[in-house]
Amino acid sequence: MTTDNFETKLEKAVKQVENGLKAHLASDDETPETLLEAMRYASLDGGKRLRPFLVNETASLFKAEQQLVTEAAIAIECIHCYSLIHDDLPSMDNDELRRGRPTLWKHSDEATAILAGDSLQTLAFEILSNAPTPTNSYIKSQLINGLAKAVGKTGMVGGQIRDMAAEKSSEVNFADILMIHSQKTGALISFAAEAGAIIGGADHHAREAIKLFGQKLGLAFQLKDDLLDVEGTTNDLGKTAGKDQASGKATLVSILGHEKAVTFLSNLKDGALYALEPFGEKAETLREATRFVCERQN
């Protein structure tokens, strides 16, 4: 039953985000249609929606207001989509393929891609601050602050800068790569998990446990990505495979070797599952998600 449960709930997150983004990106008199089209191209019909799923599931461990949960899920996905658009740019990863389709800068042009990314970032903060009232603003402000810290200079963007520096360096060690991953991809995944706990008003211990879970899961996600890059084919991934190897880029896999990397992934999985213990049966879907992240084939 648990696998069905997980897949059903992941499917629910997919629909929730799709509908929410469509509503936020509906045509209006103020927004240029070119911009909306670019934002839609890069955010609709794609992605696993893992982060929104995590918001939903950690929120379900507590007593969380559903509208805030949905808003946080959509906002976090906006940030994820913005980061992919900018990562793919010619001056960054120079990627032409994403989710089996041309990347946004390839599909439209570089300037539009930069601006669509910019406005998806803004949209995340707009969504989290919409319709503020004296009652809901304290939670909204906490979500906004946590999100900003996870995606700015001390989080995702900081990690991207470190990643770019590492690509040019010949002396990248295990600690460097851990730092890159924990900022570049880990921080947002971890915050997605934490967001549910914030909205649910979790106590200190529960919130720390959820953060630990998110950190382990985030790192596991990235490590699995690196393993898939070595093992996978372009067709399976919907993006160019073997890119890290071809570019000689240092990854956890290249530093640890394939066997130790697989063991490390297994340890991270165990660590994530351990962090969920205090939540008993209620966390069963999050356990399934953990297994999915560590065992997926694309």
Applying CB under 8 A, the residues found at the interface with a copy of itself are 28, 30-32, 34-36, 39, 86, 89, 91-92, 109-112, 114-115, 117-119, 121-123, 125-126, 128-130, 132-134, 137-138, 140-142, 144-145, 147-149, 151-154, 157-158, 160-162, 164-165, 183
Question: Based on CB atoms, which residue is closest to a copy of itself, 69 or 147?
Answer: 147
* Least Å from the CB of residue 1 to a copy of itself: 40
* Least Å from the CB of residue 33 to a copy of itself: 9
* Least Å from the CB of residue 71 to a copy of itself: 12
* Least Å from the CB of residue 232 to a copy of itself: 26
Q: What is the DSSP letter of 240?
A: -
C-alpha distance from residue 294 to each of 34, 221, 271, 291 (Å): 38, 7, 12, 5
Q: What angle do CA 78, 211, 151 make, to 5 degrees?
A: 35
* Least Å from the CB of residue 77 to a copy of itself: 16
Question: Based on CB atoms, which residue is closest to a copy of itself, 163 or 288?
Answer: 163
From CA 17, how far away is CA 127, in angstroms rounded?
13
| Cβ-based neighbours of 91, under 8 Å, separated by 6 or more | none
From CA 225, how far away is CA 273, in angstroms rounded?
19
| Rg of the chain, C-alpha, whole Å | 19
Count Cβ atoms within 10 A of the Cβ of residue 140 and give its class: 0-12 exposed, 13-18 middle, 19 or more buried: buried
Question: Based on CB atoms, which residue is closest to a copy of itself, 79 or 228?
Answer: 79
* Least Å from the CB of residue 11 to a copy of itself: 28
Question: Based on CB atoms, which residue is closest to a copy of itself, 6 or 105?
Answer: 105
Question: Based on CB atoms, which residue is closest to a copy of itself, 40 or 48?
Answer: 40
* Least Å from the CB of residue 159 to a copy of itself: 9
| Cβ-based neighbours of 169, under 8 Å, separated by 6 or more | none
User: Which backbone phi and psi does 48 adopt, to 5 degrees?
Assistant: -80, -20
From CA 107, how far away is CA 247, in angstroms rounded?
24
Q: Which residue has the tokens 């929104």?
A: 52
Determine the angle formed by the axes of helices 137-151 and 156-168, rounding to 10 degrees: 0
Count Cβ atoms within 10 A of the Cβ of residue 118 and give its class: 0-12 exposed, 13-18 middle, 19 or more buried: middle
Question: Based on CB atoms, which residue is closest to a copy of itself, 219 or 227?
Answer: 219
Question: Based on CB atoms, which residue is closest to a copy of itself, 38 or 69?
Answer: 38
Question: Based on CB atoms, which residue is closest to a copy of itself, 155 or 214?
Answer: 155
* Least Å from the CB of residue 124 to a copy of itself: 9
